[in-house]
Amino acid sequence: MRKTICLLPGDGIGPEILAQGAACLKAVAAKYGHEFIFVDALIGGAALDATGQPLPQATIDSCLGADAIYLGAVGGPKWDAAAPESRPERGILGIRKALGLFANLRPARLWPELAGACLLRADIAAKGLDLVVVRELTGDIYYGEPRGLESRNGLRTGYNTMLYNEEEIRRIAKIAFETAMGRSKKVCSVDKSNVLETSRLWKEVVNETAMLYPGIELSHMYVDNAAMQLVRDPSQFDVLLTGNIFGDILSDEATVITGSLGMLPSASLGKANPGLFEPIHGSAPDIAGTDQANPLATILSGAMLLRLGLGMPEEAQCIENAVRETLAAGYRTPDIMEKGKVATGCKGMGQEVLKRI
């Protein structure tokens, strides 16, 4: 198959890790007889320096013309003093909006080879952790109107509006159910329906949508309980379906307990536009240019790009197997280093995965 992939390296370690990820995609294309055309575009601080904007129109056009978008990371101290509208991070929010990316998928997986890095007690970690948070990304209290700051009765008062309509809930629920179909067919929907009207509608529409997926086992959990259960026994979860604000918090919690920020990929999907695939970590300015960054989160985001963005599950599995074998062979970047393992850097780790593809 012939596919176009837009590469957005960004800032800090972004270009280093994305180079390794793109090399893996090239190797997969060669192995399976595909032709991947890579188009580079600017985003974040790199775009600000070159064009004065964190998301130039040319980048949006390149993304819209591609079959999938592969991003490194943006941001860094160089641009910390920039005005809010021209901070590098605006580039990411802008591209999500421009492409209508309403679903964010974050797998959190405890690789058996990295069990030592897990922040949970050994007996809890031993039960396993392999879940996906499916988070709605373009609605909820972050976008609802009215919002504002004003004086009420002489007191400074801030307010936001938690808001979802049934269509927004239905489309993200479908993504969660479809994700679960390819896994162990269990979805837990998170809400606060004991207090919030928005959550009552959420639960109702999720239940209605579930009728279309009779093979799925659906459960519901209040968000406060979900936060607790994630550290008490994460092995009970497969797909966690959440709104924007609950998912923002729970997806960070679910992924960070694996202990390896440099291992965690993500995907953001829209209705028709290409999806965007990126590691969950930032641009790590403290280690940029030192070849210490772990490229595996980016390489695994490449696997998500193949599976969800280009419909190539076998090719995705090939990358995931190569990562697994590289870890089993003992290779470790500094962030996941343990005694007795083989120290390597960003390029070295990329090379080891390539060899196994």
- Chain contacts with ligand NAD (rule: CB under 6 A): 13, 17, 73-76, 89, 92, 261-262, 278, 281-287, 293-294, 297, 335
Catalytic residue among 40, 80, 224, 233: 224
Collapsing DSSP to helix, strand or coil, 201 comes out as: helix
CB 129 to ligand NAD: min, Å:
20
Cα pseudo-dihedral 17, 20, 26, 28, rounded to 10: -100
CB 45 to ligand NAD: min, Å:
8
In this complex, which beta carbon is closest to ligand NAD, that of residue 21 or of residue 282? 282
CB 224 to ligand NAD: min, Å:
25
Which amino acid appears at position 335 of this protein?
A: D
CB 155 to ligand NAD: min, Å:
32
Does the active-site annotation cover 142? Answer: yes
CA distances from residue 103 to 96, 127, 220, 269 in whole angstroms, order as listed: 10, 28, 19, 5
In this complex, which beta carbon is closest to ligand NAD, that of residue 188 or of residue 279? 279
In this complex, which beta carbon is closest to ligand NAD, that of residue 104 or of residue 294? 294
Does the active-site annotation cover 252? Answer: yes
Give the helix/strand (H/E) hosting 145: none
In this complex, which beta carbon is closest to ligand NAD, that of residue 228 or of residue 343? 343
Contact 76, 45 (CB under 8 A): yes
Does the active-site annotation cover 67? Answer: no
CA distances from residue 32 to 36, 131, 270, 319 in whole angstroms, order as listed: 11, 29, 27, 12
Does the active-site annotation cover 291? Answer: no
In this complex, which beta carbon is closest to ligand NAD, that of residue 226 or of residue 349? 349
Q: What are phi and psi of 245, to 5 degrees?
A: -75, -40
d(CA 53, CA 105): 28
CB 16 to ligand NAD: min, Å:
9
d(CA 268, CA 106): 9
Catalytic residue among 67, 164, 192, 238: 192
Burial (0-12, 13-18, 19+ Cβ within 10 Å), 129 = buried
Give the helix/strand (H/E) hosting 6: strand 2-10
Catalytic residue among 97, 130, 142, 186: 142
Catalytic residue among 252, 291, 341, 347: 252
Question: Catalytic residues, which ones?
Answer: 142, 192, 224, 248, 252
